[in-house]
């Protein structure tokens, strides 16, 4: 879902950058209040893994391919969209600067799509559905919906940019990412399952449980 | 910052996972266009619309002189750089007790 330079006119890129800067301001504030030192290695390792995993494109129907983005994953691990903004700004910046994957002028839009929309929709959907349908179905739906909605937001941005016609953009992006979202859903579930099994202490939602156990002693 | 043994294990496992992807992706990752690229094709967006504003050192995750080894190398390098940036960011922005 990496938009390249040239796809969005510069004045719109500037607007997306302003949005990103505002999001970063709030994310830095969040980190200074909430980012425990013990979670710093996790943030760093996840950023690296997400960078690497984005290279593993998996073929999907219609002659296209997809890869894990990880917005919902990060948002659920940290229970925070702000963590997503920080992580995806770092990853997308490196991808744009060193590898030409995603443009620099469009970095704002890319972080908005993959980090902000991805994280916010993922976290929000999880919170809304988890008591209704259970944890892992909820994680799957959250990751899937985040992927599809991020793709549609991207389609709208590219329509506003005059690059995609609205109908083709929404239909194609929606259709392909409906399949890509399945990959995202499955992988997000697997990774969170692995963390629950081997390092449950790293998941923010286990925090209150361990605190309760401490105070109950 | 202090790294516990569990942290060190996490970092090592993370690096191993990144190495795994770096080695595998150049060989088994699909060459199909991603969702956005395919949509651009569907929308008849011309090849010349995309215009990078700078020349990246490893365009498209390649390092020409070293071919496949180059691809593996730059993916791993990128992961390590991201790891470093992630640490830098975390240490800089973390909660102050």
Task: Provide the domain count of chain A.
Answer: 1
**Minimum-distance CB partner of B38 among A32, A63, A202:** A63
Contact A64 B35 (CB under 8 A): yes
CATH code, domain with A61: 1.10.1760.20
Q: What is the pLDDT of residues A114-164, one digit of tens each?
A: 999 999 999 999 999 999 999 999 999 999 999 999 999 999 999 999 999
ipTM of the complex: 0.93
Judged by CB atoms closer than 8 Å, whether chains meet at B40 and A164 is answered as yes
Q: What is d(CA A35, CA A54) in angstroms, rounded to the nearest whole number? A: 25
Does some domain include residue B67? Answer: yes
Which residue range forms the structural domain that includes residue B62? 58-83
Residue of A nearest to B62 (CA): A99
Residues of A in contact with B83 (CB under 8 A): 44-45, 47-48
Run of H or E residues at A80: none
CB neighbours (10 Å) of residue A29?
A: 12
Q: Which of B5, B23, B29, B39 is most worth mutating to test chain A (most A CB atoms within 10 A of its CB)? A: B39
pLDDT of residue A216: 53
Q: What per-residue confidence (pLDDT) applies to A213?
A: 55
Please state, in angstroms and rounded to a whole number, the distance separating the CA atoms of residues A66 and A143.
Answer: 14
CA atoms within 13 A on the CB side of A63: 5
Is B15 inside any structural domain?
no
Query: Is B25 domain-assigned?
Result: no
Walk along chain A (217 residues) and give the pLDDT tens digit of each residue.
899 999 999 999 999 999 999 999 999 999 999 998 889 999 999 999 999 999 889 998 888 999 999 999 999 999 999 999 999 999 999 999 999 999 999 999 999 999 999 999 999 999 999 999 999 999 999 999 999 999 999 999 999 999 999 999 999 999 999 999 999 999 999 999 999 999 899 999 998 665 555 555 4
- The per-residue pLDDT of chain B, averaged, comes to 91
Residues in chain B: 97
Q: What is the pLDDT of residue A214?
A: 52
Q: How far apart (Å, rounded) are the C-alpha atoms in residues B24 and B29?
A: 7
The total of other beta-carbon atoms located within 10 Å of residue B56's CB is: 16
Cα distance from B71 to chain A (closest Cα, Å)?
A: 11
**How large a percentage of chain B has pLDDT more than 70?**
100
Least confident of A63-72, A153-162, B14-23, B42-51: B42-51
Which residues in chain B touch residue A105, judged by CB atoms under 8 angstroms apart? 53
Query: Which residue of B lies nearest to A92 if distances are taken between CA atoms?
Result: B82
Residue A215, domain member (yes or no):
no
Q: Is residue B18 over pLDDT 80?
A: yes
Least CB–CB distance from B52: residue in A4, A151, A202: A4
B52–A47 C-beta distance less than 8 A: no
Half-sphere exposure of A64 (CA within 13 A, CB side): 22
A170 domain-assigned: yes
Q: Which of B75, B47, B77, B22 is nearest to A4 (CA)?
A: B47
Q: Which letter does DSSP use for residue B60 in this model?
A: G
- Domain membership of residue B36 (yes or no) is no
pLDDT bucket at B2, cuts 50 / 70 / 90? confident
Do B74 and A1 lie within an 8 Å CB cutoff? no
In a domain, B75, yes or no: yes
- Asked if residue B70 belongs to a domain, the reply is yes
Which domain does A194 fall in, by range?
10-206
CA distance A23 to A119: 12
Contact between B50 and A4 using a beta-carbon 8 Å cutoff: yes
| A4 lies in some domain | no
Interchain proximity A55–B25, CB inside 8 Å: yes
Is it the case that residue B57 has pLDDT exceeding 80?
yes
């Amino acid at each position: 879902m990496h938009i390249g330079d040239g796809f969005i006119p510069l004045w719109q890129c500037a607007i997306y950058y302003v949005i990103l800067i505002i999001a970063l301001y709030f994310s830095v504030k969040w980190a200074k209040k909430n980012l425990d030192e013990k979670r710093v290695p996790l943030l760093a390792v996840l950023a690296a893994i997400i960078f690497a995993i984005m290279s593993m494109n998996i073929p999907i129907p219609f002659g296209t391919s997809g890869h894990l983005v990880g917005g919902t994953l990060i948002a659920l691990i940290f229970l925070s969209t702000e963590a997503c903004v920080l992580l995806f700004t770092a990853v997308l910046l490196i991808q744009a600067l060193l590898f030409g994957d995603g443009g620099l002028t469009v970095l704002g839009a890319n972080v908005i799509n993959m980090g902000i929309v991805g994280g916010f929709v993922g976290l929000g959907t999880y919170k809304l559905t988890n008591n209704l349908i259970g944890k892992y179905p909820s994680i799957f739906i959250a990751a899937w919906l985040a992927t599809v909605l991020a793709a549609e937001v991207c389609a709208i941005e590219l329509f506003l940019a005059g690059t995609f016609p609205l109908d083709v953009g929404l239909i194609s992006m929606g259709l392909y990412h409906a399949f890509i979202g399945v990959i995202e859903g499955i992988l997000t579930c697997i990774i969170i399952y692995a963390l629950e099994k081997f390092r449950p202490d790293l998941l923010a939602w286990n925090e209150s449980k361990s605190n309760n156990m401490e105070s109950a002693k | 910052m202090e790294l516990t043994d569990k942290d060190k294990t996490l970092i090592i496992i993370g690096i191993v996972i990144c190495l795994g992807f770096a080695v595998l992706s150049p060989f088994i990752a699909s060459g199909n266009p991603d969702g956005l690229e395919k949509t651009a094709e569907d929308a008849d967006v011309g090849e010349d619309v995309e215009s990078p504003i700078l020349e990246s050192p490893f365009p498209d995750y390649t390092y020409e002189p070293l071919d496949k080894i180059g691809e593996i190398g730059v993916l791993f390098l990128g992961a390590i750089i991201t790891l470093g940036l992630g640490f830098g960011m975390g240490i800089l922005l973390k909660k102050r007790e």
